[in-house]
Amino acid sequence: MFAPNYFIVKPVDGRRYNNIRNYGGVEFIISTSQEDHTVSNRFAEVVSLPRYYVGDVNVGDIIIVHHNVFKFYYDMKGNQKSSWHHLFDDYFILEEAQLYLYKTSDDKWTAPFPYCFVRPIKSEEKVINTLGKHEELWGELVFKNGNMSNVSEGDIVSFTPDSEYEFNIDGEILYRMYDRNICLKR
C-alpha cells in the first residue's frame, strides 16, 4: 500500500491522543477534550513512503507530525469525524510539510528542511516575563536541518517573535520553528 504523494503513517501505540499520565502507579486522564491540541498524539510510525520521495525517512521510522493529523473533530451537526488525514482503521496520510522530526536508525532525532528545534533557556531576570521562567526569544539549538550551515547544535540562538511551536520530545519541551526564524547566534 502506498500513496503517490503522501506518507502513510499510524499513531505510535495505536492511540490518537496522549492524554493519560501515570502518577504513583495510577493512570490519570489529564484531558477529556478532543479539541485540546496539547494532548493530541504527535508520534507516528511510517508505514509507507510517497512513491517519488527522496530523503532519509524510512518505513518503520518514528516521526513527529502536526497535532491535527490524528485528532477527531465535530461537524456542523455535532457528529464526530476524523481529520481529512484518516484513511481507514489506524492508517493516516501525511504531507511531507507536516513531518517535523524523525528518528534515524541510530536512534538520533533529525529535523528535515525547513524545520529546527530549540530548547528554551531559563530566564536570568528577576522579573517574570510573558513566557514565565524562560528567556524570551532565546534558546539552545537542539536539532537543526542539513541546510543550516552557520549554526551548530548546542549554539544559543535568538528567534523571531511568535515563531515557537511547543512540542514534548522525550519528556522535554522544545520549540519547533522554521530555520528562517533563527535570526541571531550568541
Q: pTM here?
A: 0.80
Q: What is residue 80's predicted lDDT score, i.e. its pLDDT?
A: 84
| Amino acid residing at 78 | G
Q: What is residue 42's predicted lDDT score, i.e. its pLDDT?
A: 80
What is the tens place of the pLDDT at every residue in 74-96? 889 988 888 888 899 989 999 99
Q: Per the omega criterion (within 30 degrees of 0), is the bond before 114 cis? A: yes
What is the tens place of the pLDDT at every residue in 99-117? 999 998 788 899 999 999 9
Whether residue 118 has pLDDT greater than 90: yes
What is the tens place of the pLDDT at every residue in 133-152? 777 889 999 999 988 888 88
Pairing mode of beta strands 43-48, 62-65? antiparallel
Query: Cell triple for residue 120?
Result: 528554551
Q: What is residue 13's predicted lDDT score, i.e. its pLDDT?
A: 82
Whether residue 124 has pLDDT greater than 60: yes
| H/E element, 47 | strand 43-48
Q: What is residue 39's predicted lDDT score, i.e. its pLDDT?
A: 57
Q: What is residue 33's predicted lDDT score, i.e. its pLDDT?
A: 64
The answer to whether residues 111 and 145 touch, using CB atoms and an 8 Å cutoff, is yes
Comparing 13 with 28, the larger pLDDT belongs to 13
Cross-strand bridge partners of residue 167: 174
Which region among 19-28, 54-63, 84-93, 163-172 has the lowest average model confidence (pLDDT)? 19-28
User: What is the rounded radius of gyration, in angstroms, for the C-alpha atoms of the chain?
Assistant: 18
Query: Cell triple for residue 123?
Result: 530566564
Q: What is residue 161's predicted lDDT score, i.e. its pLDDT?
A: 92
The answer to whether residues 82 and 74 touch, using CB atoms and an 8 Å cutoff, is no
**Domain 115-185, CATH:** 2.30.33
CA 161 to each of CA 131, 136, 165, 178: distance values in angstroms, whole numbers, following the listed order: 12, 9, 11, 12
Q: Quote the DSSP letter at residue 179.
A: G
The answer to whether residues 166 and 173 touch, using CB atoms and an 8 Å cutoff, is yes
Where are the chain's structural domains? 7-110, 115-185
Q: What is residue 38's predicted lDDT score, i.e. its pLDDT?
A: 61
| H/E element, 11 | strand 7-11
CA 156 to each of CA 113, 140, 145, 151: distance values in angstroms, whole numbers, following the listed order: 20, 4, 16, 9
